[in-house]
């Protein structure tokens, strides 16, 4: 549990004494948990907030006496959003730093390169928002901290298609576009499956190179096919570029979005402002009443105090809960087994449900969530570029899944512009 702050001096003294006592009770060397994280490069807008949540977890756990009576210590390196650096850094963590346990960096493209290293060492590996990584490796000690569920690829856009097909008249055509990178190709594979289930005609289905900087030709090519729906599977830099191109060209399909990474980051939301209006896109957690999980409010408050120092997402809605929960799962497995043995930890994680700030999580035999919980959210009524308008849910509506729905979709897209 997160520590609760108090304004009362007497309570503060009592809390300090408790913390000191807990720290004194710790014995033995720290439990070292190693990972890489993208503090720089294209993934940094999400990597840096994730790191803050990890550090808050470390402080909270040590304030409560550590794990198994030992303090915990996080050991990490900046992978610079460069997949080629990941294998060497995990080798260093395990062979030089001698960490006890490892977890993954943020994102699919940074998780997959670490897999051969952790597999060779038979380490438990809990990933962070990595999509369908284990479909190729089939590694029994892998667990995905992402709410995609057993149908991993299709989950990112399932709610997008469900929301569209509930409209009258129903859409009949769809365009698919993706960055030529692992996550976006995986998400687009799933979108293709969802389009087939909905019996939609695909008018456009292409990838663009990650080096692309001018997205106007891509958007014009899509617009020329006159699709009702447009599913975009992209990373942060290209998500921004595509949103800008759509608005500059004046392209107005009936629905647009789906699997655009980056639009969850508050700084990018503020940068794009009203250009976001109408877009329907995935998210992981938002402060809607149905997602007030135990401890999440306290985490967000702590995160926002740190984030106020500048340079990171000031709200922390996207990366805060999932990053903290990633380490909560590992913590609960260690406490449940009273061990750091990777084989015992993996067996425990497979067998149990974990109570986290991101809700209850249970994994299936492949390490994916038993119950999917990927959100689809629509932007609307965004005015100007003030960050504060994204703090409440006045500019965002959860459309799917049904159990977390907070309102109705504005359809077609141009009605929200």
Clarify whether residues 349 and 255 are in a common domain: no
Does a structural domain hold residue 367? no
pLDDT greater at residue 180 or residue 23 = 180
- Residue 266 scores a pLDDT above 60: yes
Q: What is the mean pLDDT of residues 211-229?
A: 98
Of the given ranges (8-22, 82-96, 378-392), which has the lowest mean pLDDT? 8-22
Clarify whether residues 186 and 225 are in a common domain: yes
Clarify whether residues 272 and 227 are in a common domain: yes
Range of the domain at 264: 152-289+373-416
| Contact yes or no for 134/144 (Cβ under 8 A) | yes
3-state secondary structure of 169: coil
Q: So what's the pLDDT on residue 25?
A: 56
The CATH number for 224's domain is 3.40.50.2300
pLDDT band at 28 (very low <50, low <70, confident <90, very high): confident
Clarify whether residues 299 and 329 are in a common domain: yes
Per the prediction, the chain carries an average pLDDT of 93
Does a structural domain hold residue 100? yes
Clarify whether residues 68 and 171 are in a common domain: no
The β-bridge partners of 173 are 201
Q: What is the mean pLDDT of residues 365-374?
A: 95
pLDDT band at 236 (very low <50, low <70, confident <90, very high): confident
Q: So what's the pLDDT on residue 9?
A: 34
Does a structural domain hold residue 22? yes
Q: What is the mean pLDDT of residues 373-388?
A: 96
3-state secondary structure of 139: coil
Q: Number of H helices and number of E strands within the chain? A: 14, 14
Does a structural domain hold residue 377? yes
Q: So what's the pLDDT on residue 310?
A: 79
Clarify whether residues 338 and 201 are in a common domain: no
- Residue 31 scores a pLDDT above 70: yes
Clarify whether residues 251 and 274 are in a common domain: yes
CA distance 222 to 41: 29
Does a structural domain hold residue 4? no
Q: What is the mean pLDDT of residues 47-75?
A: 97
Clarify whether residues 327 and 397 are in a common domain: no
The pLDDT tens digits of the residues spanning 198-213 come to 999 999 999 999 999 9
Clarify whether residues 131 and 271 are in a common domain: no
Q: What is the mean pLDDT of residues 230-241?
A: 95
Clarify whether residues 82 and 163 are in a common domain: no
Domain boundary among 338, 362, 386: 362
Clarify whether residues 96 and 27 are in a common domain: yes
Clarify whether residues 223 and 284 are in a common domain: yes
Distances (CA, A) of 95 to 87, 118, 385: 12, 11, 47
List CB contacts of 67: < 8 A, sequence separation 6 or more: 31, 61, 331, 334, 335
Q: In total, how many domains does the chain have? A: 2
The pLDDT tens digits of the residues spanning 318-368 come to 999 999 999 999 999 999 999 999 999 999 999 999 999 999 999 999 999
The pLDDT tens digits of the residues spanning 244-261 come to 999 999 999 999 999 999
pLDDT greater at residue 358 or residue 309 = 358
Burial-class residue 377 by CB neighbours within 10 Å (0-12, 13-18, 19+): buried
Does a structural domain hold residue 1? no
pLDDT band at 22 (very low <50, low <70, confident <90, very high): very low
Distances (CA, A) of 253 to 79, 145, 232, 247, 397: 38, 33, 12, 12, 19
- Residue 411 scores a pLDDT above 50: yes
The pLDDT tens digits of the residues spanning 62-106 come to 999 999 999 999 999 999 999 999 999 999 999 999 999 999 999
Q: What is the mean pLDDT of residues 140-152?
A: 95
pLDDT band at 45 (very low <50, low <70, confident <90, very high): confident
Does a structural domain hold residue 3? no
């Amino acid at each position: 549990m997160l520590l609760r702050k108090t304004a009362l001096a007497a309570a503060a003294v009592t809390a300090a004494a408790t913390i000191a006592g807990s720290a004194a009770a710790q014995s033995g060397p720290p439990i070292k948990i190693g990972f890489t994280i993208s503090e720089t490069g294209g993934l940094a807008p999400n990597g840096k907030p994730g790191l803050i949540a990890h550090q808050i977890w470390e402080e909270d756990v040590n304030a409560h006496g550590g794990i198994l009576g030992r303090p915990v210590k996080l050991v990490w390196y900046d992978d610079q959003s460069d997949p080629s650096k990941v294998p060497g850094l995990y080798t260093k963590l395990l062979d030089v730093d001698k960490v006890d346990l490892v977890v993954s960096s943020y994102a699919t493209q940074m998780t997959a390169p670490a897999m051969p290293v952790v597999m060779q060492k038979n380490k438990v590996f809990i990933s962070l928002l990595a999509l369908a990584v284990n479909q190729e490796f089939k590694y029994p000690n892998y667990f995905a901290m992402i709410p995609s569920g057993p149908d991993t690829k299709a989950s990112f856009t399932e709610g997008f298609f469900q929301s569209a097909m509930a409209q009258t008249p129903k859409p009949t055509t769809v365009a698919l576009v993706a960055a030529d990178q692992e996550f976006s190709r995986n998400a687009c594979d799933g979108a293709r499956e969802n389009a087939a289930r909905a019996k939609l005609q695909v008018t456009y289905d292409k990838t663009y190179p990650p080096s692309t900087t001018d997205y106007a030709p891509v958007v014009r090519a899509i617009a020329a096919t006159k699709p009702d729906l447009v599913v975009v599977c992209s990373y942060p830099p290209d998500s921004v570029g595509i949103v800008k191109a759509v608005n500059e060209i004046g392209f107005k399909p009936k629905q647009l979005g789906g699997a655009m990474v980056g639009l969850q980051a508050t700084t990018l939301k503020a940068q794009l402002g009203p250009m976001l209006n109408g877009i329907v896109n995935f998210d992981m957690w938002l402060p809607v009443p149905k997602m007030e999980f135990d401890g999440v409010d306290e985490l967000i408050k702590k995160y926002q105090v740190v984030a106020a120092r500048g340079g990171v997402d000031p709200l922390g809605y996207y990366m805060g809960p999932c990053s903290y929960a990633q380490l909560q799962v590992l913590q609960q497995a260690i406490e449940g087994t009273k061990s750091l043995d990777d084989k015992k930890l993996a067996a425990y994680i497979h067998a149990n449900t974990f109570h986290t700030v991101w809700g209850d999580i249970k994994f299936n035999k492949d390490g994916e969530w038993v119950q999917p919980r990927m959100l689809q959210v629509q932007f609307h009524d965004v005015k100007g570029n003030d960050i504060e308008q994204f703090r409440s849910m006045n500019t965002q509506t959860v459309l799917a899944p049904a159990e977390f729905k907070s309102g109705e979709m504005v359809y077609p897209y141009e009605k929200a512009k």
